[in-house]
Amino acid sequence: MASFVLVHGAWSGSWAWEKVAPLLEAAGHRVDAIDLPGRGSNPAPPAEMTMDAYARHVADRVEAAGEPVVLVGHSMGGMSISAAAELVPDRIETLVYVTAFLPGDGQSLPELAKGNPDELVQSNIVVDEAAGLCTVRPEVQREAFYGECSAEDAAWGTARRVPESLAAIGSPVHLTEERAGSVPRVYVECTRDRALTIAQQRRMWAARPCERVLTLESDHSPFLCVPAELAAHLLAVAG
């Protein structure tokens, strides 16, 4: 039996894993789908929605599991799990990046995201500097995040999205090979993603090689459009 800790991406919450978590639990595993600071069960003001706070919260939940975990991050959650691995590398069995940002030392999300005209998110971010938050233009959210989801699932996910912290998005992570770099990595790439394109995904995992790269024919939300296939990949990693 494995313990999974599931970390959502930007503008999202623990709700993202509602179709996947039961499949992992049905296979006999423990699952903790968390809310990062500033959403859902973990309310916080924008000033406390920082990458350091995200990493510390993830690390605390990893330690609370009481055994080494499979730590899964989606999208911006890849930044959070990488930073958490620097804090508690001995408590993590494997890092799994699900169409996620995979940083090296000193890299930030904007740095990793730049240079791809085919993506639909960075060019459509709406910034509220005074609040310290940002959102994505409503008219592109379906295509960017839920292009292959059912209309019902796309509407369900869109309705739950919340503003994201500018500080968290812009912060670099500081990693060492001795700590975060010592934890085995697996990448789950999604070939039809318009938020984090397959070219971007492959550029990142080529720069930070992983033990395995698994593939899904999916948009940016495989937990909604292909939950059984995503769960099968996660179970294969745990197995």
Backbone angles phi, psi at 160, to 5 degrees: -100, -5
CB 218 within 8 A of CB 205: no
- 115, 83 Cβ separation under 8 angstroms: no
| Distance set, CA 50 to CA 54, 73, 131 (Å) | 6, 16, 14
Domain at 48, CATH number: 3.40.50.1820
CB 49 within 8 A of CB 165: yes
Give residue 115's pLDDT.
87
DSSP conformational letter for 126: E
Q: For residues 73 and 56, what is the distance between their CA atoms, to the nearest angstrom?
A: 14
| Locus of tokens 């959070």 | 80
How many beta carbons lie within 10 A of that of residue 22, not counting itself? 13
Number of independent structural domains in the chain = 1
Q: Which tokens hold the place of 29?
A: 């595993």
Length of the chain: 239
Q: CB burial class (10 A; 0-12, 13-18, 19+) of residue 78?
A: buried
The model's pTM = 0.98
Dist CA 203 CA 224 (whole Å): 25
Are 162 and 11 spatial neighbours (Cβ–Cβ below 8 Å)? yes
Q: What are the strands, taking DSSP E only, across the chain?
A: 3-7, 30-34, 69-74, 92-98, 125-128, 133-136, 164-165, 185-190, 212-216
Instruction: At 226, list the tokens.
Output: 């292909």
The single-letter DSSP state of residue 165 is: E
The domain containing residue 206 runs over which residues?
A: 3-238
What is the reported pLDDT for 210?
A: 98
The torsion region of residue 14 among left (phi > 0), alpha (psi -120 to 50) and beta comes to: alpha
Question: Cα(208)–Cα(7) distance, rounded to whole angstroms?
Answer: 20
Per-residue pLDDT of the chain (239 residues; tens, 9 = 90+): 899 999 999 999 999 999 999 999 999 999 999 999 999 999 999 999 999 999 999 999 999 999 999 999 999 999 999 999 999 999 999 999 999 999 999 999 999 999 888 999 999 999 999 999 999 999 999 999 999 999 999 999 999 999 999 999 999 999 999 999 999 999 999 999 999 999 999 999 999 999 999 999 999 999 999 999 999 999 999 98
* pLDDT (tens digit per residue) in 6-16: 999 999 999 99
Q: How far apart are CA 56 and CA 6, in angstroms?
A: 15
